[in-house]
Amino acid sequence: MKNLSLDLLKIGQKAKVVEISSDENIKRRLLDMGLVENSIVECVLISPFQDPHAYDIKGATIAIRNDDAEKILVRCLE
Amino acid sequence: MKNEFTKIIALAGNPNVGKSTIFNALTGMHQHTGNWPGKTVSNATGEYSYNGNLYKIYDLPGTYSLISHSEEEEIARDFICFANPDLTIIVCDAVCLERNLNLALQTIEINDNVIICVNLLDEAKKKKIEVNLKKLSDILGVPVIGTCARDNIGINDIKYTVENYQKEKHFGINYDKYIETAIDIVYPNIKVNENINKRWLALRLIDNDISFIESLKRHVNIDFDGNLQDKILEARCYLEDNGIRLVDLKNYIVGNILKKAEDISRDVITFHDDDYSKRDRKIDKWLTNKWTGIPLMILLVMVIFWITIVLANYPSELLYNFLFWIEDKLYNFLAFIHVPTIVSDVLVGGIYRVLAWVVSVMLPPMAIFFPLFTLLEDLGYLPRIAFNLDKCFKKCCACGKQALTMVMGFGCNAVGVTGARIIDSPRERLIAIITNNFVPCNGRFPSIIAIITMFFVGFSNSLSSSLLNVCILTLVIVLGIVMTFLVSKILSKTILKGIPSSFTLELPPYRKPKVGKVIIRSIFDRTLFVLGRAISVAAPAGLIIWLLANININGSTLLSYCANFLDPFARLIGLDGVILMAFILGFPANEIVVPIMIMGYMATGGLTEFDNLLELKTLLVDNGWTYITAICFMIFSLMHFPCSTTCLTIKKETGSWKWTIVSILIPTLIGIGLCFIVNFIL
């Protein structure tokens, strides 16, 4: 399965986090929310202006701007 | 203070897990809770008694973690570490327990006098998520209590457990072996008297958590001798040799804790339905969709205003007639007990009349708007507004959460300004604070509605006229929102230069609001509070305006001197001296602008009484109002200096007079400019 950045996930697509190369601050915030390497995320919503997207992370729905999601590498499941 | 209380309790938890609901249920207090993150922004305290013992309880701001960097998280961390609460209750959301366990584990690590409270069990049940509380308690070695705080279920269990607290066993997080070895190097050398877990402390020191170390030095007498420093360096070198760089250490640590949380939740949670959030997703698809998201949002806001206008009309008129019927009686009564005419004029014609106006015009819309608004808030819709509009804010180099502060501004700008604390970046927070005043608060839009009715819609009670009224009001509000974006953008390019910071926003699940509670709470906590504040300034303002209107010097009143002085400038921007003076005297509260204006006109125009909006319109028209005056009035009402409460709040939040003055100047200058242009063109 190919790797891609998180912002490219379509609604309903699930993926496994491969690498987070965001800067420290946002990285830690994502960490707090439970977004770590190897965790599973699913894109669930896309905002009317296409940015941000919202993801299911450990049962919670978290919106992340595309600029930040770009720096998160994931591998599509299915 | 410990003598007085049997136990001091801290209440911690992720944002939006019902922490404040539990706090209210325990203490019987009415701290307002909302379905969005960051509601409790500083420590709220309360107390309750149980079996004759008194307990003090601190509601800490919602946090995801104790080793991060936001202001709220530092408050919570410092409290748990240094304030030495006897017990910490960690409130967890049963629906996403795994993530909540992260905070629970971190807290237990510091101080294991902890009670875990798994809240929102009803929601979990609906989503077919089963949590084995007994097993969780066995694993963590601390009491675990299941609650549905909104229905008051489990609250007594909490009280009972607090009273009979017993720790079962010590639970520690086992980090991977390199980190454990590094801790072993440092912790025997830490000399503190306080009751803090030294292994945990050692790890913070190795990690070089600067904000924490500063707090540590402030609160605790710790001996940073050379030996300790050496050991810390040694531990860091050891980690480095084993492939863990200092910059990555925090991620390792949190990674370890999250792994633990994952393991535990695998043991205690059973999902009977993998697609448990189907219903929310379905709703969200409509509310955040490319085609329907924005229109539905505008429609929703319009419906709320429409209901407010339609429903407020009738009680408003009743109240008005009633209060002015009382006015006559008051006059008669005062005359009957031989109060001098001059005194009864001051009391009734000055103070009472302004009060009556504020109550009859402001109370009905507020009593309808606030509950509707609270309903929307409890439903969980507000974060969706932020989600929908974030791109626009990003374009202005601001934060999407600013949408939340704007929505709060509809209720009261001072609340919106305080609410800006949910924005992490100081630059973006300042932008949100400065621009908040462009959203008309509850003290302003009833006046705007009244002007729209008088000058643009007419007085029929038909459906079409109320709809037209809402459309025009929406236009005015949209103008305010456009101004917000414009000013945010300009600020970002000039005095508050910067790029948009990253942001994460949690979209909480939709929750069925408790309608009865919502109504009671919003009436008592919000409506009466705001009305009370308006009344307390309306009375002295009524007095001042009466004095101005009745003190004669050389044949004309002080009022006309002031109005005449302001008049030339006011005419330039499409207003007149009396209107401008009303805005200035209305500085303590926007609610009193219109009543002051009326009194000003009545004093100069000789009209002494009017019964309804139609006569008010006649009064205004007699004093030279045209539809241009009405437009300029609405624009200036939307864009002028914030009220005194808001100004003080801005000063408090920004800690600087400079930004307070900027927040006063920007909307005022824009308002003046815009009115000038409108007046010039039309």
Residue of B nearest to A40 (CA): B262
Cβ of B505 within 8 Å of Cβ of A52? The answer is yes
Residue B508 has pLDDT above 50, yes or no: yes
Model confidence at B81, pLDDT cuts 50, 70, 90, reads confident
B284 assigned to some structural domain: no
Mean pLDDT rounded to a whole number for chain A = 89
Least confident of B11-25, B146-160, B176-190, B211-225: B211-225
Q: Is B378 on the interface with A (CB under 8 A)?
A: no
- Greater confidence, B590 or B147? B147
Q: Is A74 on the interface with B (CB under 8 A)?
A: no
Cβ of B506 within 8 Å of Cβ of A33? The answer is yes
- Segment B24-37 mean pLDDT: 64
What is the C-alpha to C-alpha distance for residues B18 and B22, in angstroms, rounded to an integer?
A: 6
Residues of B in contact with A51 (CB under 8 A): 390-391, 394
Cβ of A65 within 8 Å of Cβ of B290? The answer is no
Q: What is the CATH number of the domain that holds B214?
A: 1.10.287
Cβ of B507 within 8 Å of Cβ of A34? The answer is no
Residues of A in contact with B97 (CB under 8 A): 59
Residues of B in contact with A58 (CB under 8 A): 96, 98-99
As for how many domains chain B has, the answer is 3
Cβ of A52 within 8 Å of Cβ of B294? The answer is no
Q: Is B98 on the interface with A (CB under 8 A)?
A: yes
Residue of B nearest to A30 (CA): B504
Q: Report the pLDDT value the prediction gives residue B37, as an integer from 0 to 100.
A: 41
Q: Is B465 on the interface with A (CB under 8 A)?
A: no
Are B532 and B646 contained in the same domain?
yes
B36 assigned to some structural domain: yes
Distances in whole angstroms, Cα of residue B601 to Cα of each of B130, B320, B537: 68, 19, 20
Q: Report the pLDDT value the prediction gives residue B605, as an integer from 0 to 100.
A: 47
Per CATH, the architecture of A3-76 is what? Roll (2.30)
Are B122 and B215 contained in the same domain?
no
B171 assigned to some structural domain: no
What is the C-alpha to C-alpha distance for residues B612 and B313, in angstroms, rounded to an integer?
A: 11
Cβ of A47 within 8 Å of Cβ of B288? The answer is yes
B279 assigned to some structural domain: no
Model confidence at B514, pLDDT cuts 50, 70, 90, reads confident
Q: Which domain holds residue B253?
A: 177-271
Residue of A nearest to B98 (CA): A58
Model confidence at B69, pLDDT cuts 50, 70, 90, reads low
Instruction: Order across the sheet with A14-20: list the strands.
Output: A3-5, A72-76, A14-20, A40-46, A53-57, A60-64, B504-507
Least confident of B329-343, B428-442, B604-618, B620-634: B604-618
Task: Give which of A42, A49, A68 to mutate to test B binding, by max B Cβ within 10 Å.
Answer: A49
What is the C-alpha to C-alpha distance for residues B465 and B57, in angstroms, rounded to an integer?
A: 52
Are B40 and B63 contained in the same domain?
yes
Q: Report the pLDDT value the prediction gives residue B31, as an integer from 0 to 100.
A: 59
Contact B111, B8 (CB under 8 A): no
Cβ of A58 within 8 Å of Cβ of B394? The answer is no
Least confident of A11-25, B127-141, B182-196, B563-577: B182-196
For the four alpha carbons of B560, B565, B566 and B568, in that order, the dihedral sign comes to positive
- Segment B532-552 mean pLDDT: 82
Q: Report the pLDDT value the prediction gives residue B40, as an integer from 0 to 100.
A: 46
Model confidence pLDDT, tens digit, residues B112-121: 789 999 999 9
Model confidence at B30, pLDDT cuts 50, 70, 90, reads low
Query: Which residue in this structure is represented by tokens 């980690």?
Result: B239
Residues of A in contact with B293 (CB under 8 A): 47-48
What is the C-alpha to C-alpha distance for residues B566 and B519, in angstroms, rounded to an integer?
A: 43
- Greater confidence, B21 or B533? B21
What is the C-alpha to C-alpha distance for residues B18 and B118, in angstroms, rounded to an integer?
A: 10
B509 assigned to some structural domain: yes
Contact B534, B442 (CB under 8 A): no
Residue B538 has pLDDT above 70, yes or no: yes
Are B309 and B216 contained in the same domain?
no
Q: Report the pLDDT value the prediction gives residue B36, as an integer from 0 to 100.
A: 42
Contact B176, B182 (CB under 8 A): no
Mean pLDDT rounded to a whole number for chain B = 86
Least confident of B190-199, B322-331, B562-571: B190-199
Q: Report the pLDDT value the prediction gives residue B3, as an integer from 0 to 100.
A: 59
Residue B341 has pLDDT above 90, yes or no: no
Cβ of B504 within 8 Å of Cβ of A48? The answer is no
Are B112 and B220 contained in the same domain?
no
Token pair for B189: 């050398």
Q: Which residues of chain A have pLDDT under 70?
A: 1
Are B154 and B183 contained in the same domain?
no
Are B526 and B607 contained in the same domain?
yes
Question: Any idea what the Cα angle at residue A56 is, between residues B268 and B255, rounded to 5°?
Answer: 60
Q: How far is CA B133 from the centre of its chain?
A: 34
Token pair for B121: 């069990």
Token pair for B531: 């009305």
Are B389 and B458 contained in the same domain?
yes
Model confidence at B160, pLDDT cuts 50, 70, 90, reads very high
B285 assigned to some structural domain: no
* Helix H or strand E segment including B128: none
Q: Report the pLDDT value the prediction gives residue B430, as an integer from 0 to 100.
A: 94
For chain B, percent of residues with pLDDT exceeding 90: 31
What is the C-alpha to C-alpha distance for residues A66 and A73, in angstroms, rounded to an integer?
A: 12
Residue B455 has pLDDT above 50, yes or no: yes
B287 assigned to some structural domain: no
Are B323 and B452 contained in the same domain?
yes
- Segment B580-600 mean pLDDT: 86
What is the C-alpha to C-alpha distance for residues A25 and A19, in angstroms, rounded to an integer?
A: 16
Are B184 and B106 contained in the same domain?
no
Q: Report the pLDDT value the prediction gives residue B59, as an integer from 0 to 100.
A: 86
Model confidence pLDDT, tens digit, residues B396-411: 989 988 998 998 888 8
Are B313 and B339 contained in the same domain?
yes
How do the domains of chain A map onto residue ranges? Answer: 3-76
Interface of A with B in 8-47 (CB under 8 A): 22-34, 36-37, 44-47
- Segment B628-642 mean pLDDT: 94
Cβ of B96 within 8 Å of Cβ of A33? The answer is no
- Segment B238-260 mean pLDDT: 87
Residues of A in contact with B506 (CB under 8 A): 33, 60-63
- Segment B277-297 mean pLDDT: 88
Identify which of A47, A59, A65 has the shortest CB distance to residue B98: A59
Measured between its terminal Cα atoms, the distance across chain B in Å is 67
B276 assigned to some structural domain: no
- Segment B231-249 mean pLDDT: 90
Model confidence pLDDT, tens digit, residues B412-435: 888 889 888 888 888 999 999 999
Q: Report the pLDDT value the prediction gives residue B607, as an integer from 0 to 100.
A: 43
Residue of B nearest to A23 (CA): B502
Cβ of A49 within 8 Å of Cβ of B391? The answer is yes
Size of interface A-B (CB pairs under 8 A): 124
Cβ of A60 within 8 Å of Cβ of B99? The answer is yes
Are B503 and B607 contained in the same domain?
yes
| Bridge partners (DSSP) listed for residue B128 | none
What is the C-alpha to C-alpha distance for residues B620 and B116, in angstroms, rounded to an integer?
A: 63
